[in-house]
Amino acid sequence: MSQFDEYGVDTNTVHHKKSVLREYVEAIVVAAILALFIRTFLVQAYKIPSGSMEDTLLIGDHLLVNKFVYGTRVPFTDKKFFPVRSPKRGDILVFRFPEDESKDFIKRIIGTPGDVVEVINKMVYVNGKPIDEPYTVYKDSEVLPRELNNRDNYGPVKVPPGQYFAMGDNRDRSHDSRFWGFLTEGQVVGEAMVIYWSWDTDDGLVRWGRIGRVVK
Instruction: DSSP for 148-175, please give it.
Output: T-SSSSEEEEEPPTTEEEEE-SBGGG--
Low-confidence residues of the chain: pLDDT under 50:
2-5, 7, 9-10, 14, 37-38
pLDDT of amino acid 195: 97
Q: Is 88 a catalytic residue?
A: no
List all residues 6 or more positions away from 90 whose beta carbon is below 8 Å from its beta carbon: 108, 109, 216
List all residues 6 or more positions away from 75 whose beta carbon is below 8 Å from its beta carbon: 40
**Rounded to whole angstroms, how far apart are CA atoms 133 and 29?**
47
pLDDT of amino acid 94: 96
pLDDT of amino acid 17: 53
**Catalytic annotation, pick one of 2, 17, 50, 52:** 52
pLDDT of amino acid 33: 57
pLDDT of amino acid 14: 47
Domain boundaries in the chain? 1-42, 48-210
pLDDT of amino acid 139: 93
Q: Is 158 a catalytic residue?
A: no
Assigned architecture for domain 48-210: Ribbon (2.10)
Q: Strands, DSSP E only, in 88-213?
A: 92-96, 104-111, 116-120, 123-126, 129-130, 154-158, 163-167, 183-184, 188-200, 205-206
**Catalytic annotation, pick one of 107, 174, 177, 198:** 107
pLDDT of amino acid 34: 52
For residue 176, which of 116, 119, 113 has the smallest C-alpha distance?
Answer: 119
The string of pLDDT tens digits covering residues 131-179 is 999 999 999 999 999 999 999 999 999 999 999 999 999 999 999 999 9
Is the peptide bond preceding residue 113 cis, with omega within 30 degrees of 0? no
pLDDT of amino acid 9: 43
